[in-house]
Amino acid sequence: MKLEQIVGYIDGSIICGNIEGKDIEKGFCSDLMSDVLTIDTDKVILITGMANMQTIRTSEMADIHTIIMARNKKATPEMIQLACDSDITLIETPFSAFRICGILYSRGLKPVY
Amino acid sequence: MVKLRYEIEGGNFDLAGTASSQVKKVLKQLNISQLLIKKIVVALYESEVNVVAHAYKGHIEVEIHPERVDMKITDEGPGIPDVESAMKAGFSTASQKVREMGFGAGMGLPNIKKNTDYLKIETVVGKGTTLTMTKKLDYAT
């Protein structure tokens, strides 16, 4: 699924990073960073309600390059800077994590497990 | 052989992961495969977060050899009273603050073990803990 499509489906706002031409195969939703660190999959998008520096750090370590922050969670300037430095696209949306997952799953985004 | 060393500040979650991030940058420059880099830095990051979450301070030493990466994480902290339980998924003594950061679910040490080829835990209650781990740079894995 193209990242441009994903942003459109969830009424997303791009906070940093480039979405053009990016393909996403799978989605993973968690507020538990320990859980995110167990994923072995590439080309996965993280949907989370957890908005702090460790969300970005965890994604950097797990080779996750796109994060959707649900329910209007705001990234701090430090988080945005770290995301930019780590080649991570940050997307904010007013939708809940449940709604984002429902929309993207019904449109064909695959689950990790 | 490349040797790296980084200090870790206990309790400072804003800086947690800084050392692992630096190691990741070096590993990328050495053209190590993405999959192996991910396993190494996930193990290292879990260890770094453990020091930040539980200890007063610590340091990370990394030696990158052509065929393996050796890592040693040493902290001054409370130690682990029950290593056997700590190795079980779901066991945690983390504080509420640590859990609010998205950690402390008792998945750290099992995940470190999963991502490395060798793991040794030496701990003294009231003094601190040293994790020694190795990841082979075996491109068949």
What digits encode the pLDDT tens for the residues A8-45?
Answer: 999 999 999 988 889 999 999 999 999 999 998 878 99
Tens-digit pLDDT profile for residues B15-62: 999 999 999 999 999 989 999 999 999 999 999 999 999 999 999 999
| Residues of chain A with C-beta less than 8 angstroms from the C-beta of B17 | 53-54, 57-58, 60-61
Q: Residue B140: pLDDT above 70?
A: no
Domain at A103, CATH number:
3.40.1390.20
Number of domains in chain A: 1
What is the spatial distance between Cα B16 and Cα B50, in angstroms, rounded to a whole number?
9
**Confidence (pTM):** 0.93
Query: What is this model's ipTM?
Result: 0.90
Residues of B with CB under 8 A from a CB of A: 13-14, 16-17, 20-21, 24, 34, 38, 41-42, 45-46, 49, 101-108, 111, 114
- Rg over CA atoms, chain B: 14
Tens-digit pLDDT profile for residues A91-105: 999 999 999 999 999
Token look-up 């800077």 returns: A81
According to the model, what pLDDT value does residue B139 have?
A: 65
Q: Which of B21, B102, B104 sits opposite A55 (nearest CB)?
A: B102
Tens-digit pLDDT profile for residues A58-113: 999 999 999 999 999 999 999 999 999 999 999 999 999 999 999 999 999 999 99
Give residues with Cβ within 8 angstroms of B36, minimum separation 6: B135, B137, B139, B141
**Domains of chain B, each with CATH number or no CATH:** 2-136 (3.30.565.10)
Domain that holds residue A104: 3-111
Confidence grade of residue B67 (pLDDT, cut at 50, 70, 90):
very high
According to the model, what pLDDT value does residue B105 have?
A: 81
Task: Quote the minimal CA–CA distance from B90 to chain A in Å.
Answer: 11
> Which site among A46, A58, A88 would you substitute to test the B interface, given the most B Cβ atoms closer than 10 Å to its Cβ?
A58
According to the model, what pLDDT value does residue A27 have?
A: 97
Tens-digit pLDDT profile for residues B74-112: 999 999 998 899 888 888 888 888 888 888 888 889 999
Contact B7, B18 (CB under 8 A): no
